[in-house]
Amino acid sequence: MKVETLPNKTGGQVCLIGRHYPLKIGNRRFHINALLYHRGLRCLIAIEIKNGKFKPEYVGKMQFYLAALDDLERVEGENPSIGIILCKSKDRTIVEYTLRDSNRPIGVATYQSVSNLPKDLSGKLPSPEQIAKLLDYIE
């Protein structure tokens, strides 16, 4: 397992464990888009990125991943895994109904693509060169 600390303002609290992280469950292989570890929270963070609107079935898939991570990857002393679903858009009411009875820590957020980095984020995110280096390291 390769681990790379991502630069951030919290002093390197988030580490990238891998992208397209493989999980072998039964006779099948599944892949989590990105798996992180948060040192301060002492837990794994599964990230799933979706290229459209939020769908309720995404939560079922994330619950499956979190259960598998907690059983197969979590080590003694670590807290339960957290899931983050990133979608292009979401309807807040649909998300609330979907997560209402979930017993796992799952968040849903949106993202947007931009061609230029906003000035208030300049210097707070890794440079394209740093990201390329991390991706080369992972592969």
What confidence category does residue 77 fall into, taking pLDDT thresholds of 50, 70 and 90? very high
Tokens (6 digits) for 36: 């992180």
pTM of the predicted protein model: 0.75
CA-angle at 81, arms to 36 and 16, nearest 5°? 5
Residue 74, pLDDT > 80, answer: yes
Look-up: residue for tokens 């963070």? 45
Over the stretch 14-44, which tens digit does the pLDDT of each residue have? 899 999 999 999 999 999 999 999 999 999 9
Over the stretch 96-112, which tens digit does the pLDDT of each residue have? 999 999 999 999 999 88
Please give the Cα distance from 85 to 46 (Å, whole number): 8
Residue 75, pLDDT > 50, answer: yes
Please give the Cα distance from 94 to 124 (Å, whole number): 32
Domain residue spans of the chain: 4-138
Look-up: residue for tokens 């979590």? 74
Level-2 CATH architecture, domain 4-138:
3-Layer(aba) Sandwich (3.40)
